[in-house]
Each structure stands twice: as C-alpha cells, then as structure tokens.
Structure 1
Amino acid sequence: MTANSLLSWTPAAIVFDCDGTLMDSECHWEEARELVLRGYGVETPDDFGERTKGLHYTECGRVMAEAAGLAPAVAEQLTAQLLEHFRKLVAADPVTIPGACALVQHAARFAPLAVASNCPRDVVESGLASAGLLSHFIDVVVPDATLRPKPDPDLYLAAARACGAPPAVTLAVEDSYCGILAASRAGLRVLGVGPNPHERELALVDMWVPTLADAALLDWAGTRESLTASYARA
C-alpha cells in the first residue's frame, strides 16, 4: 500500500503503541537505564537505546545485565530498579508526542481505538490519563500470562479483537521495529512514525511519517467517516 492509498482508506479500528508514539517517554527509559547501570559502575553503550527500543522491560533487564557483565540471575533485580526509576520520571514529567492528542481525538470520531504496549499497565494508563487521552481508548492491552510481548503478535491481535475489527482492516501506529514487527505479524496495516526510519522498518510499514503532527495525516483523520460495515466482536 502506498502513502496515497493509505490516506484514502478508512480503517475499521486503530491500535496505537504508547511509548515513543503517543507519550514522549523514550527519554525517561534512557535516563532510567543510565541510572541503573551507573549504579553498577557501567556507562551506557552508545547503541543501547536503539538495541532496546520497544522491547518488553523484562527483556531490557536481561540486555542490561549483559551490558554490565553481570550474571543473568541479576536481570530481575535490574528490571525492578529500571521500573522504579521509570515510574518516578514519568510521573514527574508526562509529555505527549507532538500531534498525538489531535490525531487521537480525530480518530476517535470515526473508529474504535485501543493501545497495545509492552509497558506496565499503570504506567500506560496514568500517562494517557494525564494527557486527557485515556477515555478515547476502548482497551489498553499489555503482556500478561496469556499475551506475549512484542515482537510477538499477541497484543495487536487482542487489541483488534477488543475493538471488534479483523486485523486486516485495522491500522497500527508504531515507532519501533519491535512494535512494527508485532503489528505486521498480526496482519495489521502499519503507520510508522519517527524522524529517522531504518530500511528494515520501511520495508514493513504501509506509510511512514516523521511526526504525528504531519499535516496530511491530521487532515486525513479529520475528514474520515465511520465505516457503515459492522464487525462482530470475537
């Protein structure tokens, strides 16, 4: 699908990633990782943010243990410390991505919305609530005992199901390769967002925009009408 055809299409539902897509929290993850690793006398590798972007926080803890040269058993402790720092940083400075509020508000008028995130539920919901966005979403889907984290497709499949739409007519909005891969595996069409996409990301998305404040994207969302077809909830 080309950019032009995506912007002439009306999805039956839209599922948003949260971190880095709706909420500007990647900087908080970066600072939290640095605080944890510094406590073990380790400087954060230059490529660490790119390596861990979009990963589930438990997987991030494992990668941090490797970077610090610590035993794998320490990963759980690092994960707990990471979440503690991250929660404090987000609570002190919740910030939305430019264009996120306008896009969500426009989209909620023509399609059911959900969030699919690898973050803890309390962090996602508190951040969206602080931005005045939480009420626009039918569901917030996060990993649990039955749903595997991204890059597995479980979260996107569950989110589309919560919206009552088949994956093939549902749009995912993502900023990371991990999330794009999950949405693609689930069979959703994908809108990628961010300033510097890699080729591997561009190969999987239907359209890429540098920002959710993109004028053509907001104009598209503001002029859509709800589909007349209804989809039975699974």
Structure 2
Amino acid sequence: MARLHSAKTMDIGVIFDCDGTLLDSMNMWHSLDDKLAQRAGVSFTKEDKDFLTSGTLLECGNYMHDKYGIGESGVDVVRIISEETARWYESEAVTKPGALDFICGLHAAGVPMAVASSTPTRLLHSGLETAGLAGFMRAIVSVEDVGSSKREPLVYDTARKALGTSQKYTWGFEDALYAVGTLSKAGYRTVGVYDSDIAGTPEELNKAADMFITSFTEITAEGFLELTLAYQ
C-alpha cells in the first residue's frame, strides 16, 4: 500500500452513508414501514416510499401522521420508530459484506473517513459502534445534528470539514439515488452502492455516480484509490 501514499492520494477523503451502504439495515427499515402501514390499515404507495426514503425521521413521522393518521403526532411516530429500531442498532447491527475490510484498507492507507447519515444521532452512533466501524471515523454526522435532510448538502459539508479535504477530492458513498444527486450537484465525487431498487436500481446508480459497485466485495481499498487518480 505504500506506493499509494502519493501527495494526490493523501488529499482524498471519503464520506459514507450508513444504512444500506455500510450497515445491512434497510430490510429492517422497510419491514418497519410495512408494519406501521399495516397498523393503520393502509399500503404505502411508491410516492410515499420515495418520500420516506429521502426525508429526515421527523419529516417521515409528520408525513405518516398527517397523511395516514399513524400515531398521536409526528413526534409520536418518531418515538415509535426509535423504540422499534433501537435494539437492532444497539445489539444486532452488522456491516454489508466487505465493508469492514474496505474501511480497514482505507484506514491503513491514511485516508480520512466520516459518516453522513439520515439515521437519528443516537441510533447512528450505537449502530456504528456495534458493527465496529465508529473508531475509523473522524466524524459521524446525522441530519438530526444539522437540521437538514440529504436533499441538501449540509450534512456532507459538515462531515467534510472534519476531514479537511476539498469537495473535488472528497468521495461520497451512497445507496440512495437522490443522495448521489445531492452530492454530485454540490461538487463531490460519488460511488453508488447498490442495496435495493427502492433506493436506486443498478442502472440508475451506474448512470448517476462516478463509480458504481453492487458490493464492497467487488473492490479493494487499493483498487479504489488507484481509480480515484483518474479523476484528479
């Protein structure tokens, strides 16, 4: 790995999304959405799912309550969701295949890393700790911390400032198509990571991102860093 420690390579920073990118958690989240819909006797439409994929937790809570009457209020829906998911993040969180090896490789190469996520702060930190990833990150930032969803780049910009890298040399790894779009518009380089068609199909992510992988098992840290030199 020593040959990758060029001045250009060492300017690179990486910001990871959490759920669906690093943590294998989206089935849990989608199952919870279905459970909440069933309790209300409704079925979420594609439009609903698109909003729930891109919104903050409070935005999603307000949406479910206002449109379908789920919970006593939007805040109450957030409470229900947090209680339902807390156990998974605190004791069951696992990484996507190959993610830990990839992160260890970047760490060994001296690449600064951060997480920018739509997951609430408490759950985000506990999930990354449980999965053994927190210690590799210079910053762990939730949209809850910055008061802005991933439809805007603030959460990424906040994470990047902790890395000390420029947008030009900072790469964002995302499974959500809309978030890849946010990163690209803000001037970041992007890697689309496939998780489910709900977040973005392989075809959509491959077209929108600078790089595309279906799994971290497809690429090594060394291979990724070599590829990034073509964009510098």
Q: Which interval holds the TM-score relative to the shorter structure?
A: 0.7 to 0.9
User: Distance between the aligned counterparts of 1:181 and 1:170, measured in 2?
Assistant: 15
Residue matched to 1:231: none
* Corresponding residue SS for 1:95: coil
User: Distance between the aligned counterparts of 2:215 and 2:48, measured in 1?
Assistant: 23
Residue matched to 2:223: 220
**Which of 210, 214, 217 lines up with 1:210 in the alignment?**
214
User: Distance between the aligned counterparts of 2:213 and 2:146, measured in 1?
Assistant: 33
Residue matched to 1:96: 95
Residue matched to 2:26: 26
User: Distance between the aligned counterparts of 1:64 and 1:126, measured in 2?
Assistant: 25
Task: Give the letter aligned to residue 133 of structure 1.
Answer: L
Quickly say closer, same or farther: Cα 1:95–1:50, change in 2 above 3 A: farther
Quickly say closer, same or farther: Cα 1:222–1:166, change in 2 above 3 A: closer
Deviation of 1:117 after TM superposition, in Å, equals 0.6
TM-score normalized by the length of structure 1: 0.79
Deviation of 1:25 after TM superposition, in Å, equals 1.2
Greater fraction of residues in helix: 2
Task: Give the letter aligned to residue 13 of structure 1.
Answer: G
Task: Give the letter aligned to residue 101 of structure 2.
Answer: A
User: Distance between the aligned counterparts of 1:52 and 1:88, measured in 2?
Assistant: 21
Question: Which stretch shows the higher mean deviation, 19-28 or 87-96?
Answer: 87-96
Q: Percent identity?
A: 25
Quickly say closer, same or farther: Cα 1:13–1:219, change in 2 above 3 A: closer
Which runs of at least 4 in structure 1 moved beyond 6 Å after TM superposition?
none
Residue matched to 1:80: 79
Task: Give the letter aligned to residue 53 of structure 1.
Answer: T
Q: Contact 1:62–1:72 at 8 Å: present in 2 too?
A: no
Task: Give the letter aligned to residue 96 of structure 1.
Answer: T
TM-score normalized by the length of structure 2: 0.79
Q: Contact 1:152–1:185 at 8 Å: present in 2 too?
A: no
State how many pairs are aligned: 215
Question: Which stretch shows the higher mean deviation, 196-205 or 134-143?
Answer: 196-205
* Corresponding residue SS for 1:21: coil
Question: Which stretch shows the higher mean deviation, 175-184 or 104-113?
Answer: 175-184
Quickly say closer, same or farther: Cα 1:93–1:184, change in 2 above 3 A: same
Task: Give the letter aligned to residue 169 of structure 1.
Answer: Y
Q: Contact 1:62–1:75 at 8 Å: present in 2 too?
A: yes
User: Distance between the aligned counterparts of 1:149 and 1:107, measured in 2?
Assistant: 27
Q: Contact 2:119–2:142 at 8 Å: present in 1 too?
A: yes
What is the root-mean-square deviation of aligned Cα atoms in Å? Answer: 2.9
* Corresponding residue SS for 1:108: helix
Residue matched to 2:3: none
Deviation of 1:151 after TM superposition, in Å, equals 1.4
- Equivalent positions of 1:121-160 (< 5 A) are 121-144=121-144, 146-160=146-160
Q: Contact 1:37–1:44 at 8 Å: present in 2 too?
A: yes
Task: Give the letter aligned to residue 28 of structure 2.
Answer: H
| Unmatched segments (≥5 aa) in structure 2 | 1-7, 228-232
User: Distance between the aligned counterparts of 1:48 and 1:89, measured in 2?
Assistant: 24
User: Distance between the aligned counterparts of 2:142 and 2:94, measured in 1?
Assistant: 20
Provide, for residues 15-68 of structure 1, a one-character-per-residue CA deviation record: whole Å limited to 9, x for no partner: 000010000111121222233333323344477545522432122223323552
* Corresponding residue SS for 2:18: coil
| Unmatched segments (≥5 aa) in structure 1 | 1-8, 225-234
Residue matched to 1:170: 170
Residue matched to 2:117: 117
